């Protein structure tokens, strides 16, 4: 790949995401990054300080591209439980559409935490925290409209739903079976406590 000084940071980060996503942080060498991005080692260090600096910016870019629009759109949906279901189902669809079964870069990085810098760890925690906060907000909305029992533990169930995200992403890499993945998504929502008036219907 020809090296050029005119590549934008967006282009460089998009290429770097592909390498980190495929190989993981520990499995990605400086040579992998220079070959994929078209930057020399000196140019990479000048722009991003080091491999970790590039990784942190790549994670930011990945999360912005993959999360922000979905969380904004589904946070405004009129059916709060439907929004949670849609989030999980969209995630399943993305997992199944990836022929390389790479999973989610944020989840993969969290599971490989021993190799992360503190900056990368803090970033992954914060971006996954946005997903957990989305679940909590949607559960609170479901309580407000009478779709869930008001005694539900919002924080505990939001954390459990985040755990479901991990389970789906890992399972999709190991065994991308649509039926099993949808069962993983459906079970925690069906298990949420409903008000007595809905239980008796």
pLDDT tens digit string along 16-60? 999 999 999 989 999 999 999 999 999 999 999 999 999 999 999
pLDDT tens digit string along 94-119? 999 999 999 999 999 998 877 778 89
pTM of structure: 0.89
User: Based on the structure, what is the number of domains in the chain?
Assistant: 1
Domain membership flag for residue 1? no
For residue 197, CA distances in Å to 56, 138, 157, 191, 200 come to 48, 20, 21, 16, 6
195: CB partners within 8 A, 6+ apart: 146, 147, 148, 149, 150
pLDDT tens digit string along 114-170? 777 889 999 999 999 999 999 999 999 999 999 999 999 999 999 999 999 999 999
Neighbours of 112 (CB within 10 A): 15
**Cα gap 1→22, rounded to integer Å:** 19
Domain membership flag for residue 78? yes
180: CB partners within 8 A, 6+ apart: 171
**Looking at residues 9-16, what average pLDDT do you find?**
92
Domain membership flag for residue 121? yes
Domain membership flag for residue 3? no
Neighbours of 93 (CB within 10 A): 11
Domain membership flag for residue 198? no
Domain membership flag for residue 88? yes
Q: What is the pLDDT of residue 201?
A: 54
Cβ proximity of 11 and 61 under 8 Å:
no
- Give residue 49's region: left, alpha or beta (phi > 0; psi -120 to 50): left
Quote the domain boundaries for residue 139. Answer: 9-193
Domain membership flag for residue 189? yes
Domain membership flag for residue 19? yes
CATH of the domain at 182: 1.10.357.10
């Amino acid at each position: 790949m020809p090296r050029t000084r005119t590549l934008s940071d967006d282009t460089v980060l998009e290429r770097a995401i592909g390498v980190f996503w495929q190989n993981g942080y520990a499995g990605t060498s400086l040579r992998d990054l220079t070959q994929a991005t078209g930057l020399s080692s000196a140019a990479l260090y000048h722009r991003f300080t080091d491999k970790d600096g590039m990784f942190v910016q790549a994670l930011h870019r990945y999360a912005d591209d993959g999360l922000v629009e979905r969380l904004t759109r589904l946070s405004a949906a009129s059916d709060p439980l439907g929004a949670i279901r849609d989030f999980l189902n969209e995630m399943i669809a993305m997992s199944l559409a990836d022929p390389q079964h790479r999973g989610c870069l944020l989840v993969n990085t969290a599971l490989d935490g021993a190799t992360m810098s503190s900056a990368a760890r803090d970033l992954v925690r914060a971006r996954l925290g946005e997903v957990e906060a989305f679940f909590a907000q949607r559960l609170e909305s479901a309580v407000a409209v009478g779709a869930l029992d008001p005694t539900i533990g919002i924080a505990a169930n939001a954390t459990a739903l985040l755990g479901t995200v991990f389970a789906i992403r890992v399972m999709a890499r190991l065994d991308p079976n649509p039926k099993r993945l949808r069962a993983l998504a459906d079970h925690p929502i069906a298990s949420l406590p409903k008000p007595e008036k809905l239980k008796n219907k």
